[in-house]
Chains A and B, each alone.
Chain A
């Protein structure tokens, strides 16, 4: 009898399908996949991290998704970008495009490296992952606009964006720009690599879009007080 009662109190996963709910009980915590997080000793952690660790020891953990692994080649930002590029669930193709893009970036940079003189060689970045991250950082907008209704009219009000939203917008602009505004006959990886290298150098259409958004936000600065959150 005692066993059945404690069984009801544990976080349970219902067998029946629940509409509009996550299949996990909200009690479950997100998994931590990187190996380094577990090799850090107690002394290096701050108070919150210690609390987090203790909490993790007590609570159940969600299963790791099939896109993540603990290998050194796995990057959460790149995985997110691949998922955003994916269409109709064709992860194989999206991943292929990504690897070809990185390869292309590397090729171009290495070509530039060999052609450049001694002094310039140090400045050229050859690692495609750093180029990707830096380009995405450069594309991230700082403020966004929200449509707020006041007195019958809709105003575009500048609002601060969360980190996730900024990353999402940067990736979205990159992908849409490559899909729509480039020449039809070029491959996606070619278009992406061109755009990423341009963003790395703070040029290109995506950077233009970001600057336009910033200008609009600056122009509508007067309405900033319409934001109530």
Chain B
């Protein structure tokens, strides 16, 4: 509908300014051909089958030309400089020339650059002979794979450069990646936790700014915090700085336990990681509160059965 607006406005301006007859006749022809309709039912079927309207490149270029010419005419009409006629000036002029009382802003007369009006269509990926332009077209994700390909090329170049520097003796490795700390999250029921695990510590645990003895007064929760550390035998080695929110005390402890186990994975060997997985420390617990059902008192409990 917007396209037809542009066409009508452009053609109107063209008519006003005695533009070349070709545009006029084409416009009228287009208008005439548009009005002739075989039957409404057939029209609907055809429209549904075609999908979104497809515009050819030439058609859009023609629209752009018409727009540019129409802009200059509009500027002349308003008595302004056609060279420096911006989009705001166009909007102002259109609202002045075609005042509309419609409440729906998108239904009012509109003159915008065709790129903003016509939907962006993917340019045809292959040439006239049917051969695609991009060499990775047949992978299905040409941009992704071409990016990976470029990345790999760059990595190889960097490694070659490194080898050259090493040969000259100029290459000095940066400081060894000492794994100091690990930042991970865990979830249980409705609790979320995140913690920072620091190596070479003394076994301090801080939860939400408080000492863990203060935050978890129940022994069972503290046992859950210590479970992965005790399982791996690294009780006094790490410092934990935890943040936890949501849920109750037991689910918070469970969320923290999961986060601690995940954080420990990066400090330990693969065999230990496998042992932790088989101990059930790395699986997030999927159990949540079961909903209450209608016709029952709770999730499982039924109402008292009365014979009559």
A contact set with B: CB distance below 8 Å: 13, 17, 19, 23-24, 28, 30-33, 35, 38, 56-57, 60-64, 66-67, 69-71, 74, 91-92, 95
Contacts and interface: CB of A to CB of B under 8 A. Distances in A.
The interface size bin for chain B is 20 to 34
Contacts of B230: 69-71
**8 closest Cβ pairs, A-B complex:** A31-B280, A64-B280, A63-B285, A63-B283, A69-B227, A70-B231, A23-B286, A38-B275
A61 B224 CA distance: 18
A46 to B, nearest CB: 18
B167 interface: no
A33 to B, nearest CB: 5
A63 B230 CA distance: 17
A81 B258 CA distance: 26
A96 B183 CA distance: 35
Contacts of A28: 283
Given A17-B290, A57-B274, A63-B285, A71 B223 contact: yes
Contacts, number: 74
A63 B253 CA distance: 14
B226 A69 contact: yes
B278 interface: yes
Contacts of A66: 220, 224, 250, 253-254
B277 interface: yes
Given A23-B286, A70-B231, A92-B218, A33 B280 contact: yes
A95 B284 contact: no
Contact of A63 (B274, B280, B293): B280
B297 to A, nearest CB: 15
Contacts of A67: 220
A23 B219 contact: no
Nearest to A99: B219
B276 to A, nearest CB: 10
Contacts of A56: 278
A23 B288 contact: yes
A33 B219 CA distance: 18
Contacts of B44: none
13 contacts: A23-B288, A28-B283, A31-B278, A38-B278, A38-B279, A60-B283, A62-B280, A63-B284, A63-B285, A64-B279, A69-B223, A71-B223, A95-B219
A176 B65 CA distance: 93
Contacts of B285: 63
